Amino acid sequence: MKKQRISIAMCTYNGSRFLQEQLDSIAAQTRQPDEMIVCDDKSEDDTVVILNSFAEKVPFSVHIQINPTNLGSTKNFENAIRMCTGDITFLADQDDIWYPEKTERIETILSSRTEIGAVFTDAQVIDEFSNPVGYRLWESTGFNSSCQEFIKKNRYFKILLKTSVVTGAAMAFRSIYRDFILPIPKNWVHDGWIALLVSAAAELVFLKDPLIKYRQHEDNQIGAGRKTLRDYLWKAEKLDRSIFLKEAEQFNPLLERLKSIGNREEETGLVLEKIRHLQIRGNLPDKRLQRFFAVLREFVTCGYFQYSNGIKSAVLDLLL
């Protein structure tokens, strides 16, 4: 088994509240990284002070770059990934906690077969005081047993096109795909974009074991809470249908990127169908009866099940 060089790409922004606990967990890895790249998005608290102190203590290289202007998380991660030089790139948030064996276990999997392009895991969700909240990350993303069986049959791209079940903080990918995934379109979240593109070019592997503690707090950019019926009803009242048309436009860069690797007719066809489905949802009639029949047609042809969240999405469209 060839030893791989491991890079960690971390992004920070005003993260002093939880950052030290995350850094301590990285320092405690049974397989320590070869380098760590940290891009700070012009923090105004003690984040950079904490990072500099950490860099002085650990035995591996830590490079800290402070952005002159605030870039936002997607472009910040893009910069951090571009600067990584390792064979494997791990993505790190500033407020989680890694299990000690995380890098070692994922490196072992990626080293076992070159066909594997990325590995992602489940996570234990914790609160701001590092206490378990009673559920895991995959319970909130809908990555249930049926999705897991489906994805085992080499249909990774189709599942990820339907819904993003890969969380960047719980993922690592082979760095040979860096030039393929960069640049990341500004209207995409970095982890969803990376997982989709790598799944089009290589095999993905998931681990059911949680290898991070995924923190939920009031400043989370993307949460992992479990949705209730009340949540869906609230969404139906607040949602503007034009959001589906905007989402459809976001998939155009994905089509262009797929062309760069060629022989991806199946994936291209799925993206075109996803765009068609979103356009249908975005252009549903205002009149309830007409809308009912339009939703019914898309429902019986399985569009809602293949490209949205099934019955929940259909009901949402009827309520809008």
Express each pLDDT in 36-84 by its tens digit: 999 999 999 999 999 999 999 999 999 999 999 999 999 999 999 999 9
Q: In this structure, are 21 and 122 located in the same domain?
A: yes
Residue that is last in its domain, among 163, 182, 215 = 215
Cis previous bond, 183, omega within 30: yes
pLDDT in tens, 17-39: 999 999 999 999 999 999 999 99
Is 116 found in the same domain as 39?
A: yes
Tell me the average pLDDT across 145-169: 85
Taking residue 60's Cβ as centre, other Cβ atoms within 10 Å add up to 16
Question: Do 121 and 181 belong to one domain?
Answer: yes
Give the domain CATH number at 114: 3.90.550.10
Question: Is 61 within the bounds of a domain?
Answer: yes
Q: Give the pLDDT mean for 284-294.
A: 92
- Judgement on whether residues 68 and 96 belong to the same structural domain of the protein: yes
Q: Does a structural domain hold residue 294?
A: yes
- The verdict on pTM exceeding 0.75 is yes
Residue 90 has pLDDT above 90, yes or no: yes
Question: Quick one: 129 and 266 in the same domain?
Answer: no
H or E element, residue 41: none
| Whether 306 contacts 161, CB under 8 Å | no
Q: State the total domains in the chain.
A: 2
Q: Is 220 a member of any domain?
A: no
User: Both 181 and 244 in a single domain?
Assistant: no
What is residue 190's predicted lDDT score, i.e. its pLDDT? 96
pLDDT score of 308 more than 90: yes
Q: What is each CA distance from 252 to 131, 163, 245, 268, 270, in whole angstroms? A: 41, 17, 12, 10, 12
233: containing domain: 229-319
